[in-house]
Amino acid sequence: MDEKLPIKRLSRLTWLQAVIIGFIFYLVVYNSGTLSHIIPFTLLTTSGILLVGHADICLMIVLSKYFSIRSKKFSTYRVLLTYPVSVLIYLLLRPCFSYVSGKAWSFWDAGSFFAFVGSGIVINTLIMLLHNSVLLYEHKLHADLELSRLKTANAEATNLLLKQQIQPHFLFNALNTLKALYHKDVHTADTYIVHMANFLRASIYHHASRISTLEDEVELLCDYLEMQRIRFGKALDCTIMLPEETLKNYYLPSFSLQPLLENAIKHNDFTQEAPLRVQISQKDEWLIMSNNLQKKKVKVSSTNYGLANLAERYHLWSGDEVIIKEDQSSFSVSIKLLKNEYSNH
């Protein structure tokens, strides 16, 4: 995005500078008592500053059409043009000052000539310094905005990349399960395919979404849950205790809940006699997924597609951390619910 001139701010600063210098000049002349026409003389001084200041702004507008305002050419041509213009403005005002002061004016008066040339140079230097401070401030704002946009774009790209890791991993496991089911029970395998299709359809639909409503996330989880219940039967017991109001009014990063359930299944031993009990509940503005801890005796290698993936994506999106608690008998993950679709962004 091209950096634009802050024309309004430059103009306001020029007016402010002209008024302040004009007022100071008025006080100095008034106290000296050497000038009979104080107000006209002050108005001319203020007008000179305004003309020089707005001449600088107009030149910057013209130059910005051909050069970037941060380029050396822009700065060089600005200096080369503004000083002659400001000197010319003050030389044109020279007869007006002589008329107001009541003195005879002569074009060949060298002292007066150099005095007005010097005034034009001094005033132009002051104005350029003030205008440069505005340009520097605007450049900083522009740079900060660009940095923020780059960080957002990087976070979105990273988020999408992490989400893309989940789907191939899930599909690989699902197809292996489906293959085993068709050798045992074709009807159950057909039911499994229905839930698998629903899950994949939802994942494709939300592929580009950074976040989803909690209701959509729970629906996605339910399809995954039904697939796992077909696989494990009563050995897997999952209870969802979330009020309707929470489901409709809160959000989570897409694919937040399914990896948590998958993580619990992956790292625990469970049978029908000793089932894995998973509970999803809400406490204040936190969603908590907890399960009884029955760790597998054989350590399972981690592919970083589950909990670590979610923690990184959640931090990228909301800036908050996922809270993980573990004791001898239970394991829980707490995620702060997002209040609206644009929370923290």
- Does position 21 have pLDDT exceeding 90, yes or no? no
User: What is Dmax (Cα atoms) for the chain?
Assistant: 115
The reported pLDDT for the residue numbered 280 is 96
The reported pLDDT for the residue numbered 298 is 75
Picking from 274, 268, 263, the residue whose alpha carbon sits closest to that of residue 235 is 274
The reported pLDDT for the residue numbered 344 is 46
Instruction: List the beta strands (DSSP E) in 47-201.
Output: none
Q: Which two tokens stand for residue 225?
A: 């849950």
Mean pLDDT, rounded, for 225-231: 88
- Does position 35 have pLDDT exceeding 60, yes or no? no
Mean pLDDT, rounded, for 322-327: 91
The reported pLDDT for the residue numbered 291 is 95
- Considering only residues 275 and 206, tell me which one the structure prediction assigns the higher pLDDT: 275
Predicted confidence (pLDDT) per residue in 111-123, tens digit: 777 888 888 898 8
For residues 115 and 43, the answer to whether their CB atoms sit within 8 Å is no
- 192 band by pLDDT with thresholds 50, 70 and 90: confident
> 229-265 burial, b if ≥16 CB within 10 A, otherwise e?
bbbbeebbebeeebeeebbeebbbbbbbbbbbbbbbb
The reported pLDDT for the residue numbered 33 is 53
Q: What's the rounded Cα separation, in Å, for the pair 26 and 7?
A: 28
- Considering only residues 343 and 86, tell me which one the structure prediction assigns the higher pLDDT: 86
Predicted confidence (pLDDT) per residue in 284-305, tens digit: 889 999 999 998 887 765 554 5
The reported pLDDT for the residue numbered 205 is 65
- Does position 237 have pLDDT exceeding 90, yes or no? yes
Predicted confidence (pLDDT) per residue in 51-67, tens digit: 988 999 999 999 888 88
- Does position 319 have pLDDT exceeding 80, yes or no? no
- Does position 134 have pLDDT exceeding 80, yes or no? yes
The reported pLDDT for the residue numbered 209 is 63
Give whichever of 174-188, 189-203, 229-243 has the largest mean pLDDT: 229-243
Contacts of 265 (CB under 8 A, 6+ apart): 228, 232, 236, 276
Mean pLDDT, rounded, for 22-32: 70
End-to-end CA distance of the chain: 20
- At 88, which helix (H) or strand (E)? helix 72-101
Q: What's the rounded Cα separation, in Å, for the pair 199 and 99?
A: 88
Among the ranges given (74-88, 131-145, 323-337), the one the predictor scored with the smallest mean pLDDT: 131-145
The reported pLDDT for the residue numbered 7 is 87
- 342 band by pLDDT with thresholds 50, 70 and 90: very low
Q: Give 37's DSSP letter.
A: -
Count of alpha carbons within 13 angstroms of residue 329, beta-carbon side: 1
The reported pLDDT for the residue numbered 333 is 94
CA distances from 309 to 74, 217, 271 (A): 48, 16, 28
Instruction: List the beta strands (DSSP E) in the chain.
Output: 211-213, 236-241, 251-253, 276-283, 286-292, 323-326, 330-336
Mean pLDDT, rounded, for 12-20: 87
The region, left, alpha or beta by phi > 0 then psi within -120 to 50, assigned to residue 178 is alpha
The reported pLDDT for the residue numbered 320 is 80
